[in-house]
Structure 1
Amino acid sequence: MGFDSEEYDVCIIGSGPNGLAAASVLANSGLSVIVLEASDTIGGGLRTKELTLPGFLHDVCSAAHPMGILSPYLKTLPLKEHGLEWIEPEASVAHPLDGEAAVLLKLSLEETAENLGKDKKSYIKLLSPFLKNPEGLLKDALAPLGIPDHPFLLARFGLLGLRPAKSIANSYFKEERAKALFAGCAGHSIFPLEKLLSGALGLLFSLTGHVRSWPVVKGGSQMIAKSMESYLKTLGVKIKTNYKVSNLSQLPKVRAIVFDTSPDQLGSVAGNTLSSSYINRISSYNYGPGVFKMDWALDGPIPWKDPRCLEASTVHVGGTLAEISRSESDVWKGKHSDKPYMLVVQQSQFDPTRAPKGKHTGYAYCHVPSRSTKDLTEILENQIERFAPGFKDRILAKHSMNTSDFYKYNLNYIGGAITGGAADLPQAFLRPIAKINPYTTPNPHIFLCSASTPPGGGVHGMCGYYAAKTILKKINSLKAVQYSK
């Protein structure tokens, strides 16, 4: 199990998208890199399994990837040559409403606005300024605090995004359709829509749908990790699975150690090499609410009342702005909603490899209080049935995961939180603690690159990218160390 006389420049603990991104940056710079993964496969939240019946491939965690396809770093890698195939649907989002047609977020800003009645011009007015240079905005938005490349564009986005999502929706829009569409996008923040900064995620996810359609991955989300693994091997990166690191003495001799883990795990493994004040500060890190997730094997597509919902990779199920706002606020008060805001992803609608011919997979989750173990199966199914009568009749088998299941699956998911920590003030910018360089620790050899560092959650690899850039600036001053028990 040991490494004997092996020596590397960098050892990365954890193989989520950020750990893999960090490995590629470092290896491309000529450093020797080893990645250690506790599970039998790499990927973190990028895994796909037969959770229900044979032949039905379900994404265990992340499913649709707007930030993946638009990631300023990942899109520079030759992952297509290593098996990655994005599948882009006609629409990114469908948002069903009671008694009327669903609202669709399509690639065309104008086509989307046409569905919004009196709010057509307001919707275009809200988003069009940011669509003049969306790549530049995303690059700055997905970076740690510093001097942006496009300061005026980012400042305009930041001043608006700082506002509560509910405030933006009510001030820009008159009718429920546009308000609900914006609320569904803002709900990705896992944050009350009445709170400051919740508007930023509403803007960001709305914008991404007008740059590229939110894709699924052919063969499952695991193919992102597999393509990165294939690419890393061409760079000489060594990857070791089934290797759980409990203390630093298990590592080879290295110059730098990078944790693609939660601050909690960083403290557990490396705490005796870090200052007590740093440990105390990261121990109070707020991970936020958890999730309850369902996967279904289905005897056909979801029978939405509005069949146009089948054009979208993601369906925001939650009804009106008021309903979604109440659902997300309840979670932060320790309550479970009877009609929760849900994210439904329809991978098999666009990727026939996910299920046997004529069959489909279903995927949905809602936000719940941290460490909740309440079974919400019936509640989630009723909420889908509300907009897709006959859904329950198509269920062949089902699989559920509560917050405890998520933590057992991945120790990064403290309390069932899947985004690396709450995106509230100040944690949206200063995570895991207020520090000039958030990727460093008091130990000059130890770094953090997980979603608990800027820019936070999502399959974009940018936390790993910026952590690696920090290491490259410091590596020449670091001598190899070997920790003993």
Structure 2
Amino acid sequence: MPVDAVVVGTGPNGLAAAVTLGRAGLSVELHEAEDTIGGGLRTEAVFDSDIVHDICSAVHPMAEASPFFREFDLASRNVHMLHPAISYANPLDRGAAALAYRDLDSTCELLGEDGPRWRRLMQPLLENSSGIADLILKGQRSLPEDPIAALLMASRLLTYGTRVGISRFTTEPARSLLAGVAAHAVGPLPSIPAAAVAMLLGHLAHGTGWPLPRGGSARIAEAMAQDISAHGGVFHTGHRVTDLRGLRHSAKLVLLDVSPRAFLKMSKGHLSPRYRRSLERYRYGPGAAKVDFLVSEQVPWKNPAVGGAATVHLGGTHKEVFAAETAVSAGVCAREPFVLLVDPSVADPDRAKRGKRPLWAYAHVPNGDDSDPTQLITSRIERYAPGFADTVIAGRGISAAAYERYNPNYVGGDIGGGAMTLRQSVLRPAPRLDPYRTPLPGVYLCSASTPPGPGVHGMSGHLAALSALRHEFGVRTSPALGPCSHTTARLG
């Protein structure tokens, strides 16, 4: 039976697109290649039936800052976001550590002489936080709604996109705090795109925080799926779409939460030559190589204060972080790569049971690297937490290449959907005024390979759905997304 819209892929952006279309009154079907929905929002029991691990994304700084999720209102849907007192930590040698408390005053106090400088960097961003989030997450295709936010970001990008910015701090703890959060851009450092990431995530650490959903990331996907089903949406799992022709005949609208490479394969040669060349030239970034651990106790950090953070950056000094990220971006294996560790039980104690607790960490490695990262990541943790290996009950290494086999959207293990170069930060996946609309009639891209890029914010899907509503149905107002909102009259 024909439907108004089909969404391929049920990661956070595919789900956000379906929520938006369903709220606008369209009949929607979703197709997912795996047996469970969620994409990067899956939570599964890996080693023990009582203890769940987040398979990809676990900590969600943008889930409370994103315009989509602000209106969708996860809290009202029984998704409880839990905030550790320390948003993120960066241990250093000899037991030193830099700590980004959610409380800005506490952070500045511990940074000593750099405390006033950190406050001057972050306080104005906090005072204009919604404007900053909207500026970065609303697709960068219109004039800024908040000119003050735009000026604040412009001045910081020009400064902190170069080594001049980091030199404004005189102590290593402050420099490493900034370098660690910039490394979330997964690219050469310093750079303007990394500075944008650092300003967004850095100030959120002192605002809405870096929270984890109680029970795991799948709770976010479940809440979105419940809303989709409540508005008539239908899910088809275990169904990999390889050819768009059948979908285009059965639906007026097709939205694809897939990588440009996957879209090229699905289109079966029907794209215009110019657009096809743009997708073929699209660059993918370094890969993530991950290890899931089951451990018997909390990580034995040299500095016990690090244990108050659910997110820990294992990169060393800012120079070490810059060197490792730049090398990996050039395809060179770093001897001591940047590692991001998440200990969810710090914020969600119920996830630890019977002397067992989940833990995971991933390293940035060259795209497509097929090496088992278990020993590499274990040794990186041991540098700052001697004796960690003795706490490990079980472990499972996933190489960057294996990540792509798990999810073809993670090309070469690139979990961000494409390299965060200056060009691709704005012109992803191709230079077009409307980056979601493709040359195929009624076909739109809505993955992290479209603006605003990686992260659990739902905005790529939401913005693609709004574009489709405008062009295919003449609807120019965004449907209400809140839990008490009613669906508009059926459009199809």
TM-score relative to the length of structure 2: 0.93
Aligned partners of 1:163 and 1:195 also within 8 Å? no
The Cα of 1:165 is off from its aligned counterpart by 4.8
Aligned partners of 2:292 and 2:397 also within 8 Å? yes
For each residue in 1:91-113, what CA deviation from the matched residue of structure 2 results, as whole angstroms up to 9, or x when unmatched? 11011111243221112222111
Q: Which amino acid aligns with 1:147?
A: L
The Cα of 1:81 is off from its aligned counterpart by 4.5
User: What is the distance in 1 between the residues matched to 2:146 and 2:66?
Assistant: 17
Aligned partners of 1:141 and 1:154 also within 8 Å? no
Alignment match, 1:409: 406
Aligned partners of 2:29 and 2:236 also within 8 Å? yes
- Equivalent residues in 2 for 1:53-452, closer than 5 Å: 53-144=48-139, 145-163=141-159, 165=161, 167-251=163-247, 253-452=250-449
Alignment match, 1:34: 29
User: What is the distance in 2 between the residues matched to 1:85 and 1:143?
Assistant: 25
Change (3 A) 1:473 1:74: same
Deviates more, 1:260-269 or 1:346-355: 346-355
Aligned partners of 2:114 and 2:174 also within 8 Å? yes
Deviates more, 1:21-30 or 1:246-255: 246-255
Q: Which amino acid aligns with 1:93?
A: Y
Aligned partners of 2:373 and 2:398 also within 8 Å? no
The Cα of 1:330 is off from its aligned counterpart by 1.2
Aligned partners of 2:181 and 2:197 also within 8 Å? yes
User: What is the distance in 1 between the residues matched to 2:315 and 2:388?
Assistant: 16
User: What is the distance in 1 between the residues matched to 2:315 and 2:394?
Assistant: 24
Deviates more, 1:191-200 or 1:114-123: 191-200
User: What is the distance in 1 between the residues matched to 2:41 and 2:192?
Assistant: 30
**3-state DSSP class of the match of 1:69?**
coil
Aligned partners of 1:169 and 1:179 also within 8 Å? no
User: What is the distance in 1 between the residues matched to 2:183 and 2:106?
Assistant: 23
Deviates more, 1:33-42 or 1:265-274: 265-274
User: What is the distance in 2 between the residues matched to 1:171 and 1:321?
Assistant: 10
**3-state DSSP class of the match of 2:41?**
coil
Deviates more, 1:189-198 or 1:313-322: 189-198
Deviates more, 1:69-78 or 1:234-243: 69-78
Aligned partners of 2:294 and 2:356 also within 8 Å? yes
Change (3 A) 1:366 1:166: farther
Give unmatched runs, 5+ long, in structure 2. 476-492
Alignment match, 2:488: none
Q: Which amino acid aligns with 2:271?
A: L
The Cα of 1:169 is off from its aligned counterpart by 4.2
Change (3 A) 1:70 1:302: same
Aligned partners of 1:57 and 1:355 also within 8 Å? no
**3-state DSSP class of the match of 1:453?**
coil
User: What is the distance in 2 between the residues matched to 1:209 and 1:77?
Assistant: 21
The Cα of 1:461 is off from its aligned counterpart by 0.3
User: What is the distance in 2 between the residues matched to 1:354 and 1:168?
Assistant: 42
The Cα of 1:420 is off from its aligned counterpart by 0.8
Q: Which amino acid aligns with 2:325?
A: E
**3-state DSSP class of the match of 1:400?**
strand
Deviates more, 1:301-310 or 1:76-85: 76-85
For each residue in 1:284-317, what CA deviation from the matched residue of structure 2 results, as whole angstroms up to 9, or x when unmatched? 1001111110111001111111111121120111
Q: Which amino acid aligns with 1:235?
A: H
The Cα of 1:248 is off from its aligned counterpart by 2.1
Q: Which amino acid aligns with 1:452?
A: S
Q: Which amino acid aligns with 1:218?
A: R
Alignment match, 1:482: none
Q: Which amino acid aligns with 1:7?
A: P
Aligned partners of 1:191 and 1:424 also within 8 Å? yes
Alignment match, 1:483: none
Q: Which amino acid aligns with 1:139?
A: D
User: What is the distance in 1 between the residues matched to 2:455 and 2:21?
Assistant: 21
User: What is the distance in 1 between the residues matched to 2:282 and 2:341?
Assistant: 29
Change (3 A) 1:469 1:168: farther
What is the alpha-carbon root mean square deviation over aligned residues?
1.7
Deviates more, 1:295-304 or 1:342-351: 342-351
Deviates more, 1:190-199 or 1:171-180: 190-199
User: What is the distance in 2 between the residues matched to 1:473 and 1:243?
Assistant: 29
Deviates more, 1:456-465 or 1:307-316: 307-316
Change (3 A) 1:163 1:426: farther
Percent identity for Structure 1 against Structure 2: 38
Q: How many residues are aligned here?
A: 473
Change (3 A) 1:276 1:231: same
The Cα of 1:425 is off from its aligned counterpart by 1.5
Q: Which amino acid aligns with 2:146?
A: H
**3-state DSSP class of the match of 1:428?**
helix
User: What is the distance in 1 between the residues matched to 2:144 and 2:382?
Assistant: 46
User: What is the distance in 1 between the residues matched to 2:418 and 2:49?
Assistant: 34
The Cα of 1:75 is off from its aligned counterpart by 2.3
Change (3 A) 1:82 1:198: closer
For each residue in 1:60-118, what CA deviation from the matched residue of structure 2 results, as whole angstroms up to 9, or x when unmatched? 10111101122111121143444422111111101111124322111222211111121
The Cα of 1:220 is off from its aligned counterpart by 1.2
Q: Which amino acid aligns with 1:61?
A: C
Alignment match, 2:39: 44
